[in-house]
Amino acid sequence: MNIVVCVKQVPDTATERKLRSDDNTLDRDAADGVVNELDEYAVEEALKLKEAHGGEVTVLTMGPGKATETIRKALAMGADKAVHLSDDALHGSDALSTSYAMAQALNKVGFDLVVLGSESTDARTGVLAAMLAERLGVAQLTLANKVDVDGTSITIQRITDYGYDRVEATLPAVVSVVEKINEPRYPSFKGIMAAKKKPVETLAIGDASIDPSQVGLAAAWSEVVDFAAAPPRAAGTIVKDEGDGGAKAAEFLASKKFI
Amino acid sequence: MTVDRLLPDQDAKDLIDLTREIADKELARRVDEHERAETYPDGLFATLGGAGLLGLPYPEELGGGGQPYEVYLQVIEELAMRWAAVAVATSVHTLACFPVHAYGTPEQRERWLPDMLAGRLIGGYSLSEPQAGSDAGALTCKAERVETGYRITGNKAWITHGGIADFYALFARTGEGSRGVSCFLAPGTAEGLSFGRPEEKMGLHAVPTTSAHWDGAVLAGDRLIGEEGQGLQIAFSALDSGRLGIAACATGLAQAALDEAVAYAKERQTFGKRIIDHQGLGFLLADMAAGVDSARATYLDAARRRDAGLPYGRQASVAKLVATDAAMKVTTDAVQVFGGYGYTREFRVERYMREAKIMQIFEGTNQIQRLVISRHLAK
């Protein structure tokens, strides 16, 4: 089975994240880049599927040159090879144009199954899996917390408020995963060393037949018009409990219309 | 605080990054709970082994990491910064692999080392006895030759990972005198081997230390490592390396105490300013930093000598002495920086101070280190 895992480099959520003042896009130099956490679960699931069914795991990422660090991490975990879609023309792409560019790259690379995290910690749109499936004309199986493949049929389990849905489809398909699906492995030291020798193919937009007029900031359907830092938190109210603490807490909650 | 390390190459930097990631996620998050409840962290050593951290200074052909001591010890130090007991057990495991690697036959190495170095088999080191600690030559545990191998009878003491480890580097007497001790690779499940109740220790609570009772257990002949009578030579050559491991543990522990103390001293205000800005406290912290840095420099010097194939026994003893005394002083001073809070179990520095004490005692007391150093001087 030819599995492609889409991974994204995101700014570390533990550090302060900023937007750029010149074009209102993410300032990727302001914070350390790390693998989007849910994508690590996607890599783990892809590796498990490969271990169970054979085949190959290819990592696909779209991002600037720095994103190679993220590719190395996925390769160190055990993926076989990587494709890095990187082109200045892609800067500022929104979810729609990202899905277009990624779909073009996926068509070039070829796949039986595409696995990705259900959302990223930076943009948090959570729509890429659905958009990719639509563009690729294949089944979408989103928010999976369990994946089973049997021949060419694939079944996922999706947790819902009332229990879970079982969703079945025929390969090829796109699956997005949630964090309950597995426990991502750590890379091993040997894996890190081996990753340095694994092939990474870099694609510019022309290599993936991506129309430059459909990507980048200019082609984006959504636009960040303005942004501001979150206001500092106002000082809290300290209530001294003199036997009436419960009543005072209730009064406070009522004043905020919580109760 | 992240220690700015001088490392030989990119591979070593990647290894330290991996160690930090695992140590932050698996050690730092679990340490308080396990040290307080005195419970063993199930599965943790399997994780460390899976990541390749349990066989770092051994050859890659046998499943090790092929790393010089200079790098391996800094990994131990990073572990110790989060969890001293785990770092100590990792150092002991690495030490327990030493006899088979250095003195085993090619068959013995191929049979056991890959599983040991991958951490699928966890090792303990069993040299001490109730009446034979510093004076290891006084050990009395017997290994009698029988038709199928060696029958082991006697008592061993102070075994890190006792009762949990899968194998023990065991030293027992096959004859008289200092040339009458032999080394064995004993399985933890040997029939006739039982373990005492875990010792009630001052610190390092999460990994048990036990005695072992050998009641005529028979070890197959191929469990003898090296020649009969070569045991003490093996034990002492292993200990030079083991002392460096403990020096690295002590340095990591001291670094952790310094980090906690500095963070607190920047936050805590008295007389209208941060306590770090009072010269009395600032100088105390400066001395602590000097203690940590000199501990690190000293063990790294010994490690680099070892890596270069130079004699390093004296330097290993100096490193163990300097680093563990520094850890005791730095952790004690960290409690001082915290004042009354430092004396409570709310804060980690209290635990650090308890953990530092054993470092001056095990793998050769600091008095034994001075003996080794002074004998080198008298040569």
Question: Which amino acid is present at A63?
Answer: G
Q: Where in chain B is the domain with CATH 1.20.140.10?
A: 233-378
pLDDT score, position A256: 84
| Amino acid letter, residue A109 | V
**Is A192 close to B18, i.e. CB distance below 8 A?**
yes
At residue A238, the pLDDT reads 79
Chain A CA closest to residue B63: A190
Q: With 90 as the cut, is the pLDDT of residue B249 above it? A: yes
Cβ–Cβ of B15/A189 closer than 8 Å?
Answer: yes
- Out of B21, B47, B52, the one facing A190 most closely (by C-beta) is B52
Q: How confident is the model at residue A84 (pLDDT cuts 50, 70, 90)?
A: very high
Cα separations in angstroms, B253 against A111, B259, B260, B344, B368: 49, 10, 11, 18, 22
Shortest distance, CA B48 to any CA of chain A (angstroms): 9
Q: How far apart are the CA of A188 and the nearest CA of chain B, in angstroms? A: 4
- Determine the distance in angstroms separating the CA of B47 from the nearest CA of chain A, rounded to an integer: 8
What are the chain A neighbours of B52 within 8 Å (beta carbons)? 188-190
Give the CATH architecture of domain B123-231: Beta Barrel (2.40)
For A114-169, the pLDDT digits (tens) are 999 998 887 788 899 999 999 999 999 999 999 999 999 999 999 888 989 999 99
Alpha-carbon gap: A130 to the closest alpha carbon of chain B (Å):
32
Q: What is the pLDDT of residue A10?
A: 87
The tens digit of pLDDT for each residue in B158-190 reads 999 999 999 999 999 999 998 999 999 999 999
Q: Which residues in chain A have Cβ-Cβ distances shorter than 8 Å to B2?
A: none
Lowest mean pLDDT among A198-207, A245-254, B261-270: A245-254
Is there a contact between A187 and B51 if contact means CB atoms under 8 Å apart?
yes
Q: Per residue in A2-56, pLDDT tens?
A: 999 999 998 887 777 788 888 888 787 777 888 888 999 999 999 999 999 999 9
Does A185 contact chain B (CB < 8 Å)?
Answer: yes
Work out the angle between the directed axes of helices A37-53 and A68-77 (0-180°, nearest 10): 40
Residue that is written with structure tokens 């072992």 in the block: B212
Whether B144 sits among the annotated catalytic residues: the reply is: no
In 3D space, the residue among B1, B12, B101, B5 whose CA is nearest the CA of residue B300 turns out to be: B5
Instruction: Give the residue with greater pLDDT, A232 vs B219.
Output: B219
- Cα R_g (chain A), whole angstroms: 21
Taking CB atoms and an 8 Å cutoff, what residues of chain B touch A189? Answer: 14-15, 18, 51-53, 56, 65
A189/B65 CB distance under 8 A = yes
CA pair distance B330, B164, nearest whole angstrom: 32
Question: Taking 90 as the threshold, does the pLDDT of residue A252 lie above it?
Answer: no
Interface test mutation site (partner B, options A70, A185, A189, A193, max chain B beta carbons within 10 A)? A189
| The predicted structure's pLDDT at residue A194 | 95
Residue B339 has pLDDT above 80, yes or no: yes
Give me the mean pLDDT over the B230-250 stretch. 95
Nearest CA in chain A to B26: A186
Q: How confident is the model at residue B276 (pLDDT cuts 50, 70, 90)?
A: very high
pLDDT tens, B48-60?
A: 999 999 999 999 9
Alpha helices by DSSP H, listed for B38-153, are 44-50, 69-82, 84-103, 106-117
Q: Do B51 and A193 touch (CB under 8 A)?
A: no
Q: Of the candidates A210, A220, A216, which has an alpha carbon nearest to the alpha carbon of residue A101? A: A210
Contacts of A184 in chain B (CB under 8 A): none
CA distance to partner chain B, nearest, from residue A191 (Å) = 9
Q: What is the structure's pLDDT at A239?
A: 78
The number of C-beta contacts closer than 8 angstroms across A and B is 28
Class of domain A2-230: alpha beta
**Which residues of chain B does CATH 1.10.540.10 include?**
10-117
Give ∠ CA B100-B106-B107 in degrees, rounded to 5: 90
Instruction: Output the pLDDT for position B44.
Output: 96
For chain B, give every residue range classified as CATH 2.40.110.10: 123-231
Q: Which of A186, A190, A192 sits opposite B22 (nearest CB)?
A: A186
Tens-digit pLDDT profile for residues B341-378:
999 999 999 999 999 999 999 999 999 999 999 999 99
Does pLDDT of A110 surpass 90?
yes
Q: What is the per-residue DSSP string for A228-257?
A: -PPPPPPPPPP---SS-HHHHHHHHHHHTT
The mean pLDDT of B73-80, rounded to a whole number, is 98
Strand partners, B224: B184
pLDDT tens, position by position, B288-336: 999 999 999 999 999 999 999 999 999 999 999 999 999 999 999 999 9
Are A186 and B65 within 8 A, CB to CB?
no
Q: CA-based Rg of chain B, rounded to a whole angstrom? A: 21
Closest CB to B50 among A188, A192, A193: A188
* B interface residues, A as partner, C-beta within 8 Å: 11, 14-15, 18, 21-22, 47, 50-53, 56, 65
Around Cβ B355, how many Cβ atoms within 10 Å? Answer: 29
Q: Tell how strand A153-160 and strand A163-170 pair up.
A: antiparallel
Largest Cα–Cα distance in chain A? Answer: 73
pLDDT for the residue numbered B117: 96
Q: Residue A186 and residue B56: Cβ atoms within 8 Å?
A: no
Tokens representing A214 are: 């459909």
Min Cα–Cα distance to chain B from A164, Å: 30
Q: Mark out the alpha helices in chain B (DSSP H runs).
A: 10-22, 31-37, 44-50, 69-82, 84-103, 106-117, 231-267, 279-307, 313-338, 348-359, 366-378
Lowest mean pLDDT among A76-90, A239-253, B82-96, B201-215: A239-253
HSE, CB side, 13 Å, CA atoms: give it for residue B95. Answer: 30
| CATH architecture assigned to B233-378 | Up-down Bundle (1.20)
Cα distance between the two ends of chain B: 42
As a whole number of angstroms, the distance between CA B109 and CA A86 comes to 48
Q: Does the CB of A187 have a partner CB in chain B at under 8 Å?
A: yes
Instruction: Find, in chain A, the residue whose alpha carbon is nearest to that of B67.
Output: A189
- Whether A189 and B52 lie within 8 Å, measured CB to CB: yes
Domain B10-117 carries which CATH code? 1.10.540.10
Nearest CA in chain A to B22: A186
* Cβ-defined contact of A186 to B53 (cutoff 8 Å): no
Q: Is A14 on the interface with B (CB under 8 A)?
A: no
pLDDT in tens, B200-237: 999 999 999 999 999 999 999 999 999 999 999 999 99
Is residue A234 predicted with pLDDT exceeding 80?
Answer: no
Contact B79, B20 (CB under 8 A): no
Q: Compute CA distances B169 → B93, B158, B221, whole Å.
A: 10, 13, 15
A259 has a chain B CB within 8 A of its CB = no
Res. A235: pLDDT tops 80: no
Is any Cβ of chain B less than 8 angstroms from the Cβ of A258? no
Catalytic residue among B26, B129, B355, B363: B363
Q: Cα B317 vs. chain centroid, distance in angstroms?
A: 14
Q: Measured between CB atoms, does A192 come within 8 Å of chain B? A: yes
Beta strands in A53-112 (DSSP E): 56-62, 81-85
Cis peptide, bond prior to residue A172, ω within 30 of zero? yes
